[in-house]
Structure 1
Amino acid sequence: MKAMILAAGLGTRMRPLTLHTPKPLLKVAGKCLIEYHIERLVAAGINDIVINHAWLGEQIEAALGDGRRYGARIVYSPESEPLETGGGIRQALPLLCSEGEPAFMVLNGDLFSTHPLAPLSHLAPPPGGAHLVLTDNPEWHPEGDFALEVDGRVTSSGGDWLTFSGISVLTPGLFADRDEGAFALAPLLREAMAAGRVCGERLQGYWQDVGTPERLQALDRALRNGTIMEAS
């Protein structure tokens, strides 16, 4: 399985830190946020990684290079302007898979998590579907995003509502009817949910959406004092 790290956001909520540095290169405990993703993917046996970028993207390529020093093979999907989550993945599909090839993993570049990635690398969601990792609703997003049913299906109605963690396994068929351009991922997921093609699981371990300077500082403190533990 290949993986994609979404790194094309403008990082507006993180300003002024992101005025001259793209958010994935912000550091916590002495390491760039995106480096944690790369290292955890490689540890899970996923070496082929696609990274999209837009705002200050040349800094990302200069910092990470071809990925060799991480034991990875990194290729880039530059965007002249941000294509949103769905459009960014759609543009990168030729780098991730060909039509009919297996699913791929996607990680939001602005999250930090210890959720085990190796089990996800062996998943095969239904054609045209997806597998989502959902987490308990944080205080800043109490309404959640989707419902996880007892049979493992993810729906947009019923059940206990949870928050999408930004960790998923997607199939190329999910984007089969979409042309290139800017569009969101969530509507595609809801369409697939209505057809019964989306499953999911609860997140294990630590998770944080690193969307503000305050959350970045909190994550830095947690990593430095050793309060974040890997999930078993």
Structure 2
Amino acid sequence: MQAMIFAAGLGTRLQQETAGKPKALVNIGGKTLLQRAIEKLQHEGVSKIVVNVHHFAPQVIAFIESKDWGIPVLISDESEKLLETGGGLKKAAPLFSKNQPILIYNVDILSNLDLNILKAEHQASGALATLVVRKRETQRYFKFDKQKNLVGWFNKKTGESKISRSEHFNEATEMAFSGIHIVQPEIFDMMPATDRFSIVQVYLEAAKTHQIKGFFDKSAMWMDVGKPAQLEDARKLFS
């Protein structure tokens, strides 16, 4: 399995932490977020990793080149323009094999999810993409039918909704996205011609005609350390 780590974000929620360095190089328990992400993916059998960079890109590139990771860790450079999640994946397409699924992992996520279980469920389902989701309080939710097919998206704060399959939308289960997903390379054929767009929009459009599945994660640990409070919680946990 090959993987991509989304590490190009500005890290604006972390304020002073990212004033002089990128979010990917924020330290928790003696290791940067990027190191923790790379080591997790490598430990779970990923054979190649692509990391996208933008904010303080030279720092991230230098950090990656300073270590022997045991597997290839390649750079997709977005220094000139931040491309969002969909555009970032699209730009990195030439770096991926066309015959393996691509695991996507946000650099600010800490999780003990067994990624091989995710891969096995994804491949068994025949889905175009599988999104790791959890039952937790948030503002934006994906909605899934009883077969865990994506049927839409809903923002509880604004009331905005985006419907992929209207016949199942109202009674669908609301789940919060975990920043981990796995896609087939065929996803590139469904991307818009523009260079900057969200992968969420691709999933919601694809779900009208293809299987976009949810993986309902119940693993013991999941943290979004792109938020200051959870960053401090993580530092206590890994101290």
Q: TM (normalized to structure 2)?
A: 0.84
Structure 2 counterpart of 1:171: 184
What runs of 5+ residues in structure 1 fail to find an aligned partner? Answer: 225-232
Q: 2: CA distance between counterparts of 1:66 and 1:85?
A: 26
Q: 2: CA distance between counterparts of 1:154 and 1:191?
A: 10
| Counterpart code for 1:160 | T
Structure 2 counterpart of 1:213: 228
1:60 aligns with 2:60: yes
Structure 2 counterpart of 1:119: 117
Q: 1:25 to 1:167 in 2, by over 3 A?
A: same
Structure 1 residue 59: deviation in Å? 0.7
Structure 2 counterpart of 1:73: 72
| Counterpart code for 1:103 | P
Q: 2: CA distance between counterparts of 1:121 and 1:85?
A: 20
Deviation per CA, 1:126-170: give whole Å up to 9, x if none: 47x2011101223xx1x4421233323232133220111011111
SS in 1 for 2:17: coil
- Mean Cα displacement is larger for which, 190-199 or 161-170? 190-199
Structure 1 residue 205: deviation in Å? 2.3
Deviation per CA, 1:32-87: give whole Å up to 9, x if none: 1111111111111113100000010111111121752x322100000122100000
Determine which of 105, 108, 114 is the counterpart of 2:106.
108
Structure 2 counterpart of 1:149: 145
Structure 2 counterpart of 1:32: 32
Structure 1 counterpart of 2:215: 201
Q: 1: CA distance between counterparts of 2:216 and 2:34?
A: 23
1:189 aligns with 2:203: yes
Structure 2 counterpart of 1:228: none
Deviation per CA, 1:110-134: give whole Å up to 9, x if none: 111111112234443647x201110
Structure 1 counterpart of 2:237: 222
Equivalent pair of 1:91/1:180 in contact (CA under 8 Å): no
Equivalent pair of 2:145/2:172 in contact (CA under 8 Å): yes
Q: 2: CA distance between counterparts of 1:187 and 1:36?
A: 29
What runs of 5+ residues in structure 2 fail to find an aligned partner? Answer: 153-168
| Counterpart code for 1:151 | Q
SS in 1 for 2:207: helix
Equivalent pair of 1:86/1:182 in contact (CA under 8 Å): yes
RMSD: 1.8
1:18 aligns with 2:18: yes
1:134 aligns with 2:133: yes
Identity of aligned residues (%): 29
Q: 1:67 to 1:90 in 2, by over 3 A?
A: farther
Q: 2: CA distance between counterparts of 1:67 and 1:169?
A: 26
Structure 1 counterpart of 2:165: none
SS in 1 for 2:198: coil
- Mean Cα displacement is larger for which, 147-156 or 181-190? 147-156
| Counterpart code for 1:83 | L
